[in-house]
Chains A and B, each alone.
Chain A
Amino acid sequence: MLTRPTLLIIAGVVLVTALATASVLVGVAELDGFVLLASRLPRTVALVLTGAAMAVTGLIMQLLTHNRFVEPTTTGAGDAASFALLMLLLTNPGLPLPGKAAVATLGALVGVFGFLTLARRIPVRSSVLVPVVGIMYGGVIGAVTTFIAYRTELLQELLSWSIGDFSGIVRGRYEMLYLAAAAALVAWIAADRFTVAALGDDTARGLGLDSRGVLLLGVTIVAVVTGIVSVTTGLVPFLGLVVPNLVSRLIGDHMRRAVPLVALLGAALVLACDLVGRLVRFPFEIPISIVMGIVGGTVFLWLLLGPASRTGGATRSGNASKAGRATGTAARRAEAVGRRG
């Protein structure tokens, strides 16, 4: 007898395979061996890797901050990576791609730690204020970056990091994404540690977990994925936000079980949005960031305002014992409602 998560994973694999096949078949050029190997397959693989890795980083961020509504692009990680890349471009433009990725990773690392410091200082324990501060924090870094980029006429470069677009992906331009996917794999292996860390510092320490170490690991994974995706394809908004939330509604917050499904759904969503972007104005393309901004944003609004959110964590109560996060959110929401009272 198959369990529900297993069934969902099988469904996810089928969905991703179907979408990937479609992604390989759609294009302007006649499909032959060269086009297949040089452009179509690289693009499809890049989509799958980016989707999976970014969705998983969203899940990690959410566990680390005990908050359902954060992800790398809403916590300043992407903006900090862009800032670091811009500084690199101004001082040492000739660095090869891996070097750029390393610098972007470093920038994202600093950005995420900055965000975590800020988030800890928010006086009102409201689960929604954390992402709001994150978005503003990213906006402030982004404004500084835009200002410098504008003055140095590098605005176009800046857009290529912050706006995801897979139209330029060919053989030799995407391979670093395997490293990002490997980072996501590490997250899967360490999943149980993240679940325990999400129970809170004291509980985690009581259970014998080095919670600072887990935090460092999590932030590093997030930074590596953000850095690599920034320099190869550009970041995709809302992906890390909606996918883990949807998965959590389906099977709950058990991270080790959630990671494969999050990765699959992330890949499927990115593949689907990229296909839409390619087909809407065939033979021209619309960058995936724009499509995802509409699709992901709408799904997020539904998550935030839709019927199920009314009951807060109650819809996930069946899985509450598996992780303290669901109940934590529910409690915070109840507290927020009470304060309004």
Chain B
Amino acid sequence: MAEPTVTERGTRPAGGTTSHAPARRRVRFGGGARIGLLGALAAGAVALYLFHDLPERWQYPMDLRTRTVAAMLLVAVAVGVSTVLFQTITANRILTPGIMGFDAVFMAIQVFTVFALGPMVLLAAPPLVSWLVELVLMSGFVVALYWGLFLGRRLDLHVIVLAGLVLGTVFRSVTAFLQRLLDPDTFAIVQNLAFASFTSVDRTLLLPTALLVLAALASLWPIRRSLDVLSLGEAPAIGLGVEHRRVVMHVIVVVALMVGASTALVGPVMFFGLLVANVAYSVVGHRHSRALPAACLIGLIALVGGQWFLDRVLGFATELPVVIEFLGGVVFIVLVLTGRAR
């Protein structure tokens, strides 16, 4: 993307040639056709997950599977879009909201509300109201925290990555710390929050989450043309007439809301965004009109297909998040070692 570094090319002559080869192939295969193909694959994965191995009495399993697919669709869109956008405003390929510890912050605040107000807050308030209030509070906190720590000042990218990783650890420790202070009953309530699970989502949250994700997407429509310009970096974007600060702030709020919604629905998935965004770039390139839908579709394929494979083929029920963690970590290391992490 922006600022091609001379030192990097110099130290790794092989990198230049390998990264050009797929670019040439990309021209022959239209981006639209690739997205169509991804769409077909995603539809196939969903159909496979829904209908494969369906028992005689299909109503209950069907209901369960539809709910899981709906949750996965929402998470795929939220995580895919938020990661691509986050990488756009930070102009790199390794930084993601997950790696920066966004979801860890959400978890900590969720547990903190229970800790401060007691378990009754989960039962007394209408779930929708508490969900919304929590989401707004959390997003505000995340935006303020990360704006203050990182984006308001000029820091080396790698320092930001490291600080984000450490921040994630700190907030996970805070969550664990608060959990230990709770009494066993309350602990049992919040314990489930800490593990990502696609198969046991709260049905009442599906519709509000969907509305929120749609609203966030709609809010991006007016600035859609600025996004590609934004990925050139701050100075070129300003030079080309983009209101950099305002657009970046807008994008950060959208990212925070989407990560918050996804975390509230299924729990933290740290490396998923990294995996999805980078596969999307290598399939359709960096244009947002292509990369955003591609990231969502790849996310859906990965989640639904992965769950189907683990569930019905291998017979492992719940380890999808662990597998994602593994693959994401490998992708990250490969990105760094091949010099694409800037």
In this assembly, does B53 line the interface, its C-beta being within 8 Å of a C-beta of chain A? no
In this assembly, does A22 line the interface, its C-beta being within 8 Å of a C-beta of chain B? no
Q: How far is the CB of B270 from chain A (nearest CB, A)?
A: 8
In this assembly, does A136 line the interface, its C-beta being within 8 Å of a C-beta of chain B? yes
Judge whether A132 and B326 touch: CB under 8 Å: no
Judge whether A139 and B329 touch: CB under 8 Å: yes
Q: Mark B245-259, 1 if CB is under 8 A from A, else 0.
A: 000000000000000
Judge whether A297 and B169 touch: CB under 8 Å: yes
A27 — which chain B residues lie within 8 A by C-beta? none
Judge whether B169 and A293 touch: CB under 8 Å: yes
Judge whether B170 and A305 touch: CB under 8 Å: no
Judge whether B8 and A123 touch: CB under 8 Å: yes
Q: In the complex, A300 Cα to B169 Cα: how many Å?
A: 11
Judge whether B173 and A337 touch: CB under 8 Å: no
B339 — which chain A residues lie within 8 A by C-beta? 123-124
Q: Which of B156, B163, B181 contacts A336 (CB 8 A)?
A: B156
In this assembly, does A31 line the interface, its C-beta being within 8 Å of a C-beta of chain B? no
Q: Mark B160-201, 1 if CB is under 8 A from A, else 0.
A: 011101110110111011001100000000000000000000
Q: In the complex, A209 Cα to B285 Cα: how many Å?
A: 50
Q: A300-B166, A305-B149 are in contact. Are A137 and B333 (CB under 8 A)?
A: yes
Among residues 286 to 337 in chain A, which have CB atoms less than 8 Å away from a CB atom of chain B? 286-287, 289-294, 297-298, 300-301, 304-305, 333, 335-337
Judge whether B322 and A305 touch: CB under 8 Å: no
In this assembly, does B47 line the interface, its C-beta being within 8 Å of a C-beta of chain A? no
Q: In the complex, A294 Cα to B177 Cα: how many Å?
A: 9
Judge whether A304 and B163 touch: CB under 8 Å: yes
Q: Mark B1-45, 1 if CB is under 8 A from A, else 0.
A: 001010110011001000000000000000000000000000000
Among residues 3 to 42 in chain A, which have CB atoms less than 8 Å away from a CB atom of chain B? none
Judge whether B176 and A290 touch: CB under 8 Å: yes
A284 — which chain B residues lie within 8 A by C-beta? 180
B132 — which chain A residues lie within 8 A by C-beta? none
Q: Which of B161, B163, B173, B174 contacts A305 (CB 8 A)?
A: B163
A291 — which chain B residues lie within 8 A by C-beta? 173, 177
In this assembly, does A280 line the interface, its C-beta being within 8 Å of a C-beta of chain B? yes
In this assembly, does B157 line the interface, its C-beta being within 8 Å of a C-beta of chain A? yes
Q: In the complex, A103 Cα to B155 Cα: how many Å?
A: 42
Q: In the complex, A7 Cα to B183 Cα: how many Å?
A: 46
In this assembly, does B325 line the interface, its C-beta being within 8 Å of a C-beta of chain A? yes
Q: How far is the CB of B151 from chain A (nearest CB, A)?
A: 13
Q: What number of residue pairs across chains A and B have CB atoms under 8 A from each other? A: 129
Judge whether B329 and A290 touch: CB under 8 Å: no
Please name the residue on chain B nearest to A292 by beta carbon.
B173
Interface majority SS (helix, strand, loop, mixed), chain B: helix
Please name the residue on chain A nearest to B7 by beta carbon.
A339
Judge whether B336 and A301 touch: CB under 8 Å: no
Judge whether A140 and B162 touch: CB under 8 Å: no
Judge whether B172 and A133 touch: CB under 8 Å: no
Judge whether B333 and A123 touch: CB under 8 Å: no
B interface, size bucket:
35 or more
Q: Which of B162, B163, B176, B338 contacts A293 (CB 8 A)?
A: B176
A335 — which chain B residues lie within 8 A by C-beta? 7
In this assembly, does A237 line the interface, its C-beta being within 8 Å of a C-beta of chain B? yes
In this assembly, does B309 line the interface, its C-beta being within 8 Å of a C-beta of chain A? no
Most buried by B among A124, A144, A151: A124
Most buried by A among B166, B174, B181, B271: B166
Judge whether A147 and B319 touch: CB under 8 Å: yes
In this assembly, does A69 line the interface, its C-beta being within 8 Å of a C-beta of chain B? yes
Judge whether A140 and B333 touch: CB under 8 Å: yes
Please name the residue on chain A nearest to B167 by beta carbon.
A301
B177 — which chain A residues lie within 8 A by C-beta? 286, 290-291, 294
Please name the residue on chain A nearest to B325 by beta carbon.
A143
Q: In the complex, A131 Cα to B164 Cα: how many Å?
A: 12
A297 — which chain B residues lie within 8 A by C-beta? 166-167, 169-170, 173
Q: In the complex, A297 Cα to B158 Cα: how many Å?
A: 17
Q: Mark A268-297, 1 if CB is under 8 A from B, else 0.
A: 000000000000110010110111111001
Q: How far is the CB of A116 from chain B (nearest CB, A)?
A: 14
B332 — which chain A residues lie within 8 A by C-beta? 136
20 pairs from A and B in contact (CB 8 Å cutoff): A123-B337, A124-B5, A124-B11, A124-B341, A129-B158, A129-B161, A135-B165, A136-B333, A139-B271, A139-B325, A147-B323, A237-B169, A238-B169, A281-B180, A286-B177, A289-B173, A290-B173, A290-B180, A301-B167, A340-B3
Nearest 10 A/B pairs, CB to CB: A293-B173, A297-B170, A143-B326, A140-B329, A128-B158, A123-B339, A143-B325, A139-B329, A126-B158, A294-B173
